[in-house]
């Protein structure tokens, strides 16, 4: 038998990778927001049309890119964020896989406009289905603007799989809120079809939470703080009497990254032991700072799951910190819920 194995062409490899990184418009928003944050932007604007299905644009005032980097940024496994495998164990940036822009450019029409502080002029690159169609100099401010049009235009099956505008917009808002909550010191705007959905000035954690969830949230928040060798915990839990019937407002951030953790969620619920009505869920906005070497983020392409070296200790510390806060704020005695 003759040899049959071939290396896939880049655009095919990119399209396959895109399947993992980009599920829906919200995934694009998440990746682009994270890039803007890694570029140290202090102001980030998100503009979407038709729930991101026809256009997503993200404008940041971060460090921008040189002409060469602008072109390189669309190559797969091209990243400025890590250099060696060791760096994987001490990540301080959101990105590191060098996959997002290559993936997005494989399945959409992308226009990147960028300028760094050293270049006189900026660069505009148009790329579609992994093919660069034009690259020109342009006049622009320092920072980066990326527009992503017609997501999945060349993968009809994926495009048809997208849900209604209402559902896709909900996903976008969820991602937007997670990133905005993790970075209160950055100003964020979100516009949909010309309407402003959020305008978030730079502020502190507490104010960011109330700017997103409404002024009334403020009085529901009980501060949580704890500092141990393993972890620094800050943030808030909602008073038990405001616990909800659904899991809406539950957020863990580890080193400023939103993560999902059923295990740590259990620790929070355990701390509320006896204070909650049946089938109600406490709100929480908890920020955990740990040594980047003590976690592994590289479990899944979307990076919402983390492996902690010492999960059990973390569980115990979190639970006792929250118990302590609830006690200190005299939450327990005023309650008389039937169990």
Answer for which of 14, 15, 27, 35 binds ligand ADP (CB under 6 A) is 35
CA 299 to chain CA mean position, Å: 16
Binding of ligand ADP by 144 (CB under 6 A): yes
Please tell me the distance from the alpha carbon of residue 337 to that of residue 274, in angstroms, as a whole number.
Answer: 9
Please tell me the distance from the alpha carbon of residue 219 to that of residue 185, in angstroms, as a whole number.
Answer: 22
Helices vs strands, H then E, count in the chain:
9, 16
Answer for which of 27, 61, 73, 123 binds ligand ADP (CB under 6 A) is 73
Which listed range, 92-100, 195-203, 285-293, 294-302, lies at the site for ligand ADP (CB under 6 A)? 92-100
Q: Which is nearer to ligand ADP, 31 or 175 (CB)?
A: 31
- Residue 128 contact, options Mg ion, ligand ADP, none, Cβ 5-8 Å cut-off depending on partner type: none
Closest separation in Å from C-beta 118 to ligand ADP? 13
Answer for which of 63, 88, 313, 316 binds ligand ADP (CB under 6 A) is 63
Q: Which token pair is 93?
A: 């940036």
**Taking CB under 6 A as the rule, which mask of x and - marks residues 161-200 in contact with ligand ADP?**
----------------------------------------
Contact 8, 65 (CB under 8 A): no
Longest Cα–Cα distance of the chain, Å, equals 79
User: Which chain residues interact with Mg ion by CB under 5 A?
Assistant: 35, 95, 100
Contact 294, 310 (CB under 8 A): yes
Burial of 314 (0-12, 13-18, 19+ CB in 10 A): buried
Q: Which is nearer to Mg ion, 35 or 130 (CB)?
A: 35
Site residues (CB under 6 A) for ligand ADP?
31, 35-36, 39, 60, 62-65, 73, 78-81, 95-102, 144
């Amino acid at each position: 038998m003759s040899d049959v194995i071939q290396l896939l062409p880049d655009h095919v490899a990119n399209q396959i990778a895109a399947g993992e990184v980009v599920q829906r418009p919200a995934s694009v928003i998440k990746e682009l927001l994270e890039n803007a944050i890694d570029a140290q932007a202090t102001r980030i604007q998100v503009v979407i049309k038709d729930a991101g299905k026809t256009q997503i644009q993200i404008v940041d005032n971060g460090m921008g890119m040189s002409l060469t980097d602008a072109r390189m940024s669309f190559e797969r496994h091209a990243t400025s964020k890590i250099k060696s495998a060791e760096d994987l164990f001490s990540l301080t940036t959101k990105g590191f896989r060098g996959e997002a822009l290559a993936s997005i450019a494989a399945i959409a029409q992308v226009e990147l406009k960028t300028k760094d502080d050293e270049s006189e002029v900026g660069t505009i690159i148009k790329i579609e289905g992994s093919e660069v169609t034009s690259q020109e100099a342009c006049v622009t401010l320092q920072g980066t603007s990326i527009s992503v049009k017609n997501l999945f235009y060349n993968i009809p099956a994926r495009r048809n799989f997208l849900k209604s505008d209402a559902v896709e917009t909900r996903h976008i808002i969820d991602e937007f809120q997670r990133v905005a909550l993790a970075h209160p010191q950055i100003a964020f705007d979100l516009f949909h079809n010309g309407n402003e959905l959020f305008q978030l000035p730079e502020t502190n954690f507490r104010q960011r939470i109330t700017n997103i969830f409404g002024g009334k949230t403020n009085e529901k928040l009980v501060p949580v703080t704890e500092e141990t060798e393993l972890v620094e915990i800050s943030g808030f839990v909602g008073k038990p009497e405001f616990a909800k019937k659904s899991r809406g407002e539950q957020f863990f951030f580890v080193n400023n990254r939103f993560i999902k953790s059923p295990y740590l969620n259990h620790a929070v619920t355990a701390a509320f032991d006896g204070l909650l009505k049946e089938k109600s869920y406490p709100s929480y906005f908890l920020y955990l700072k740990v040594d980047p070497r003590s976690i592994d983020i590289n479990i899944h392409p979307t990076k919402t799951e983390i492996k902690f070296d010492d999960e059990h200790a973390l569980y115990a510390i979190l639970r006792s910190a929250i118990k302590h806060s609830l006690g200190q704020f005299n939450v327990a005695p005023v309650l008389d819920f039937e169990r």
